Structure 1
């Protein structure tokens, strides 16, 4: 049974790393499931504190991945309409054009929101760029967290 759990764990860890790059996969949650599967074996155990800490990190990173593009929009001068445009663009992009809609949706939503509030094209695109930059930061964060969980997974087996 351990071999099945380890094999599934490896698949979840790999999927988690891919999820750091591909917006359609929830990277850190998949990696966390990989850690749990390894923990369920008889040979390899993690402490309860370790699993709780990584569970919290997983939840925080998962939420930040959706909030950072909104913050980027605000940081680059976006108004409330730009922020709401980014949120709506994220939702529409996720539902209608996965996986690329998660990248393009917040950008276009922020730009359209700013244009609807009367801002010039340059300011609107700056807000959209902030949203895109936020997406890149979220992606990097997911890759780091999933990569660290992969390291713990494989280090435990050595």
Structure 2
């Protein structure tokens, strides 16, 4: 039975990493779910208050990573709040409209449309901002992947 429990926990962690490229999947909830299931299946004893504090800080970082990376990248390429919002909406809607490629096309088009229509930017500048939003999204995937890996490695060290 122990193998089944571990398989479920590992599956939750794997889904969390899938959530890096499909932002509609709440990655952090799957990681926390893995921690909680370990406690239910085995024991909460390895989880000190320090463990929960550190993991809680990582959760806050995960929630902020998308927005901050997107904000920095869009601003760097001359975008505004409208570009950030357009990009964010595109990140969420893109995979549903265009499976697989929508994850990159969505933020790109979202930022372009927001800057072009809301802020009346020149189309060439709006396209530059769209590329910035994609760069921000890709960098946020990288940063969140590292944070999630650290969370899981810390979990493994705590339980072993």
Shorter-chain TM-score bucket reads 0.7 to 0.9
Structure 2 match to 1:36: 36
Summarize the Cα distance change of 1:64–1:94 in structure 2 as closer, same or farther, 3 Å threshold: farther
After TM superposition, give the deviation of residue 135 of structure 1 in Å.
0.4
The SS at the match of 2:19 is helix
Normalising to structure 1: TM-score of the pair?
0.76
Comparing 90-99 and 71-80, the one that deviates more? 90-99
Summarize the Cα distance change of 1:99–1:46 in structure 2 as closer, same or farther, 3 Å threshold: farther
| Whole-Å separation in 2 of the counterparts to 1:86 and 1:19 | 17
| Whole-Å separation in 2 of the counterparts to 1:18 and 1:85 | 23
Structure 2 match to 1:132: 134
Comparing 106-115 and 78-87, the one that deviates more? 78-87
Summarize the Cα distance change of 1:61–1:96 in structure 2 as closer, same or farther, 3 Å threshold: same
Comparing 124-133 and 95-104, the one that deviates more? 95-104
Summarize the Cα distance change of 1:8–1:87 in structure 2 as closer, same or farther, 3 Å threshold: closer
| Whole-Å separation in 2 of the counterparts to 1:49 and 1:78 | 40
Larger relative CO (CA 8 A, sep 6+): 1 or 2? 1
Cα RMSD after superposing both structures: 2.9
After TM superposition, give the deviation of residue 128 of structure 1 in Å.
0.6
Normalising to structure 2: TM-score of the pair?
0.76
| Whole-Å separation in 1 of the counterparts to 2:145 and 2:8 | 20
| Whole-Å separation in 2 of the counterparts to 1:97 and 1:66 | 22
Q: Is the 8 A contact 1:28 1:58 kept in 2?
A: yes
The SS at the match of 1:28 is helix
Q: Is the 8 A contact 2:58 2:151 kept in 1?
A: no
After TM superposition, give the deviation of residue 25 of structure 1 in Å.
3.0
| Count of aligned positions | 158
| Whole-Å separation in 1 of the counterparts to 2:8 and 2:45 | 14
Summarize the Cα distance change of 1:46–1:71 in structure 2 as closer, same or farther, 3 Å threshold: same
